[in-house]
Structure 1
Amino acid sequence: MASLARMAGTLFPDSVGLGVVSIGAADDPWPEELPAIARAVPHRRNEFAAGRAAARMAMSGLGLELQAIPAGEDRAPIWPAGLTGSITHGEDTALAVVCKSNEFRGLGIDIEPDAPLPEDVLSDICDGDECAWIAGQVAPLRWARLIFVAKEAAFKCQYPATRAIFGFDVMTIRIMPQEGRLTARFTRDVSPYAAGDLLEGRFIRSAGMIVAGFVDPADPV
């Protein structure tokens, strides 16, 4: 888990706190958080608890007061005033990133096994340009998996600003493998973003996992 924390920590600036917690090892969620999992199965309850614990670990790493993180009707975390963040769950680990919202308007993190994307969902995830790019790579379906992870992370990053739910076609991913960099470009307007706007991200592949992270800087005051 320490290696995963080091790996994920390289994706974000120093002003972003990171937490990593094993699923099944976290304390119970705080009372304000419990309504979100009132009817959840045990594994989902464990995921949720680990994610909230990871988020509080990230707060602690920044020297912030630990606070509850309820979920809204859209199931997205309701971050404490002045903060924003993102939570993701792997097979046995939860990761969270947190920062002050006057530094970043949004953060996004996602983790998946570094395994080929099932070919039968490729056309649902990747657009024509993305498919053309992966076709020129070794193990194209593993790169398709990275595109999926990147789109999930980029979606989380933009969500605090838009509160919009949309399909995979609304963002197109560019991968810069040698630099470990990503961009997510909006293909249409999703206020306050315009078609052509970019989110900047990074990725890393290690220990059989892919982690992608995106940041959206706050508007200058």
Structure 2
Amino acid sequence: MTGLVQMAGSLFPDGVGVGLVTIGAAPPLWPGEARAVAEAVAHRQAEFAAGRAAARLALLAAGLPEAAIPAGEDRAPLWPEGVVGSITHGEDCALAVAAPQALVQGLGLDVEPDAPLPDDILSEICDGAECAWIAGQVEPLRWARLIFVAKEAAFKCQYPLSRAIFGFDAMHVTVDAESGGLIARFTREIPPFAAGSALEGRFVRTAGLILAGFSRTGA
């Protein structure tokens, strides 16, 4: 688990804190948090609790005080004032990143099993150029899974500013397989992001997982 925290941290600038908690092993939720999953099934409640506990560990790792992190009306985490962060859930654990807004303006983290993307949803996730690129790779559908993870992470990174919900076709992802670099470019205007605006990120494959992380440093 320590290695996974280090791998996640390698995706972000220095000063971004990372936390990890095993699903089912989280302490009780803080006041104001439980209402978001009050009617959810037990596994979802355990997943949510692990995510919030991981977020508090990320706050501490970034040199910030622990705090309650309730969910907003849109179900997105409500981070403390002056703080940005992101939470993601794997099959067995929750990971979170957090940082002062003075360091970065946005963070996005996502994790998925390092397994082929189901080919029946490929056209929903990847555009023509992305499909052409993965076709030239060994195990194309594993690379399609990476594009899915990258778009999920990039969406989380931009969402606190745009508050917009959009489909996978609104972003085009370019992958540098050798360096682990990612660029997610808006294919159309999503205010305040102009068409062609780009977010930069990184990915890593480790322990049977794919992790992608994006950070936004501009205002």
Aligned: 1:142 with 2:135: no
Could you say which residue in structure 2 is the equivalent of 1:115? 115
The letter for the 1-side match of 2:143 is W
Secondary structure of 1:12's counterpart equals coil
Q: Is the 8 A contact 1:105 1:160 kept in 2?
A: no
Secondary structure of 2:105's counterpart equals strand
Q: Is the 8 A contact 1:20 1:93 kept in 2?
A: yes
User: 1:128 deviation in Å?
Assistant: 0.4
Inter-partner Cα distance in structure 2 for 1:137 and 1:127: 16
User: 1:103 deviation in Å?
Assistant: 2.1
Per-residue CA deviations over 1:159-204 (Å, capped at 9, x if unaligned) read: 0000000000000000000000000000011111100010000000
Per-residue CA deviations over 1:15-57 (Å, capped at 9, x if unaligned) read: 1110011001101111110110110111001110000000100
User: So what's the TM-score if we normalise by structure 2?
Assistant: 0.98
Could you say which residue in structure 2 is the equivalent of 1:4? 4
Could you say which residue in structure 1 is the equivalent of 2:38? 38
Q: Is the 8 A contact 1:102 1:218 kept in 2?
A: no
Could you say which residue in structure 1 is the equivalent of 2:103? 103
- Identity, in percent, stands at 65
The gaps in structure 1 that reach 5 residues or longer are: none
Inter-partner Cα distance in structure 2 for 1:116 and 1:130: 15
RMSD between superposed Cα atoms in Å:
0.7
Q: Is the 8 A contact 1:186 1:193 kept in 2?
A: yes
Q: Is the 8 A contact 1:154 1:184 kept in 2?
A: yes
Could you say which residue in structure 1 is the equivalent of 2:167? 167
The letter for the 1-side match of 2:160 is P
Inter-partner Cα distance in structure 1 for 2:60 and 2:92: 22
The letter for the 1-side match of 2:141 is L
Secondary structure of 1:152's counterpart equals helix
User: 1:3 deviation in Å?
Assistant: 1.4
User: 1:218 deviation in Å?
Assistant: 3.6
Secondary structure of 2:84's counterpart equals strand
Inter-partner Cα distance in structure 2 for 1:170 and 1:179: 25
The gaps in structure 2 that reach 5 residues or longer are: none
User: 1:115 deviation in Å?
Assistant: 0.2
Inter-partner Cα distance in structure 2 for 1:97 and 1:62: 9
Inter-partner Cα distance in structure 2 for 1:214 and 1:7: 14
Flag as ranges the 4+ runs of structure 1 deviating above 2 A: none
Aligned: 1:198 with 2:198: yes
The letter for the 2-side match of 1:197 is S
Q: Is the 8 A contact 1:172 1:187 kept in 2?
A: yes
Secondary structure of 2:184's counterpart equals strand
Secondary structure of 1:130's counterpart equals helix
Could you say which residue in structure 1 is the equivalent of 2:19? 19
Aligned: 1:155 with 2:155: yes
User: 1:65 deviation in Å?
Assistant: 1.2
The letter for the 2-side match of 1:178 is E
